[in-house]
A and B are shown apart, each in its own frame.
Chain A
């Protein structure tokens, strides 16, 4: 069992039983979607269709529809590629690296972060494909025997390493994500009411049944995939950085690129996770799971990785100057860039990536949801500028003065970029609508150790809801961290069975048809005092209690069910049923 020091802040607020977790995550999936979801989905789809249209125009007409020229041969295309891949790295870091470090706080965010990764890497992958020009010859990168004398791709080239890296990363991320989803799909399948939902989730859950051996394999596979995905995160973005570092362009040809790019990726990725998750948290009422502590930890990762990026900028600036190389004087992180024709792009980068994240050092700022969200968006913009600066600034002012030229994006450049944002949101909105956004099974494993009411020692077992633990009627002393929480009592409830009648209110068991005052006395003596007690006792047990008291003629079959209705306050339903019953027995 996951054990944690009680002094640590809880990871799950309020009082959550196992069933509550299932309900909280499944509720947005079952039932109708909020109107805002339809509005956002429509907007995203329109933008996505426009983007797809731009892509088709590009493929049909050619790369000339972009703003590229013979000096600046990589523009928004590769900027967007690296931007999306960078964003994608946070999800894997959260699921894989934090799993290896046993950080339980990852559980609130890993499912959505992985989904974000997959959709982001999918968007990233579009750009190398469409920037080829002749996409239909794209299969030439794969080493298969051919009629050109079997011409093979160049395995010494970083561009080909990229092909293997991105494909591996995308496919392994999908596998990792899906394997974790299977048990949760089984949960939704077993609750599904409509036949369409039942069929869909039956197919998606692959027949998962929760056997002990299967869970054993599940945990091993999760661990091994995490172990594989961790070096994958580092290797993939290092290889992406090699696209630049292995060249000779001033500003690109720098050994700091691999660690700089990897931290930059985690930096922008976590910013995107914050951007998405803070909205989702409010939209789906997940404040008990995605807490201030989670926000603070994510911001701390941003501070660390942003710090590495800042140090890399300072290093580039210093080394460019120190080398005395005349071409380095105009690279993207140099005095020439700060004062040249792209000064606005340079200063945007400095502000968004160095100045804005610095505010996160202040605790009040990094625990504030609104400010963190704004800073996260600024960081995303800043990281786009970083890739733009690296590519366009370095290319526009390299070796030969007669080649120096500005870059102007065409409407196709802009359309495709916005289009990928649209497609990303289409996927992400579909994900939040039909897939569980929190890992249901994983969260249940930490409720006992990290749930707020278990740390307070006000609750005993997440098997029981508040009512079942007789905590519902006691007054709260603790100030809860969020509004709308269920009231957790401060009294120590050590044993559900031995409570005195003076502290707990007795329920009138005579309301159950079939129970008279004598039977109520007998039940009270056996420890069944409230409707909740009666509801959680099987009819066989009640029968035994009655037999011990020599009352053999009563049939308690319907009593637990009646008590469930009474416990939940469904008096009308209970009355209706009791009208059908005859002395508490079902009439056949």
Chain B
């Protein structure tokens, strides 16, 4: 069966949220919303789950910390301990205080950069990727809600169209795939 994709365009984020709430209440699954800025309160309405990037960042930070501490223990204590003014160079614990700056910086370095790389890959926003927003106005001042017929098998095309038209849109575009 041919798929139909509806692109409902709004020019106000409050109207968008009301419209999305109405449609979801009626049982329609909204596939995607394209907006020029993050619309607060939209995610729970259309069912976007919160990202786990924060957890990933924490794990990456732990990796950096471990690498730094293990590294410094090897360089300064086990492989080549230096005589720096007679200070205890054989004990990792007693030198931990002076290892803190580098350990902290390595933690932040790994957490930040690896999280940024994960973020770009997860979004698939990498250098060379083409843009795929349906209308160039969605990065200016319009919002587009995408509803697919294939996700909403309980409704007919006309039903979805009627419901969407009722929600205060400024434009509606339909694509047959």
Contacts and interface: CB of A to CB of B under 8 A. Distances in A.
A and B physically associate: yes
A41 interface: no
A151 B132 CA distance: 52
B169 to A, nearest CB: 9
B84 A1 contact: no
B140 A156 contact: no
Contacts of B130: 202, 207
A207 B83 CA distance: 54
Contacts of A213: 48, 51
Interface string A315-355: 00000000000000000000000000000000000000000
Contacts of B132: 207, 209
10 contacts: A164-B109, A186-B133, A187-B140, A190-B131, A207-B128, A212-B39, A216-B38, A217-B119, A224-B53, A229-B112
A19 interface: yes
B41 A231 contact: no
Interface string B13-46: 1110000000000000000111111111111001
Contact of B11 (A208, A229, A232, A463): A463
Given A175-B112, A207-B129, A217-B123, A187 B101 contact: no
Contacts, number: 216
B159 interface: no
Interface in B87-105: 87, 95, 98-99, 101-102, 104-105
Interface of B: 11-15, 32-43, 46, 48, 50-51, 53-54, 57, 71-72, 75-76, 79-80, 82, 84, 87, 95, 98-99, 101-102, 104-106, 108-109, 111-113, 115-116, 119-120, 122-133, 136-141, 170-172
Given A217-B122, A228-B108, 16 more contacts: A1-B41, A150-B80, A153-B75, A156-B76, A165-B105, A176-B112, A183-B36, A183-B37, A187-B36, A191-B140, A212-B48, A216-B51, A217-B119, A218-B38, A220-B51, A221-B119
Contacts of B57: 224, 228
B126 A190 contact: no
Interface stretch (A297-305, A439-447, A486-494): A439-447
Contacts of A310: none
A182 interface: yes
Contacts of A150: 79-80
A172 interface: yes
A454 B117 CA distance: 39
Contacts of A540: 172
Interface string A232-266: 10010001001000000000000000000000000
Nearest to B40: A1
A544 to B, nearest CB: 10
Q: Find the residue from A143, A218, A219, A224 having the highest chain B CB count within 10 A.
A: A224
Contact of B79 (A152, A154, A165): A152
Interface in A195-214: 202-203, 205-214
Contacts of A22: 36, 140-141
Contacts of A211: 32-34
Contacts of A1: 13-14, 40-41
A209 B122 contact: no
A168 interface: yes
Contacts of B133: 186, 190, 209-210
A190 B50 contact: no
A155 B80 contact: no
The 6 closest A-B pairs by CB, nearest first: A207-B129, A18-B141, A190-B136, A215-B38, A463-B12, A209-B133
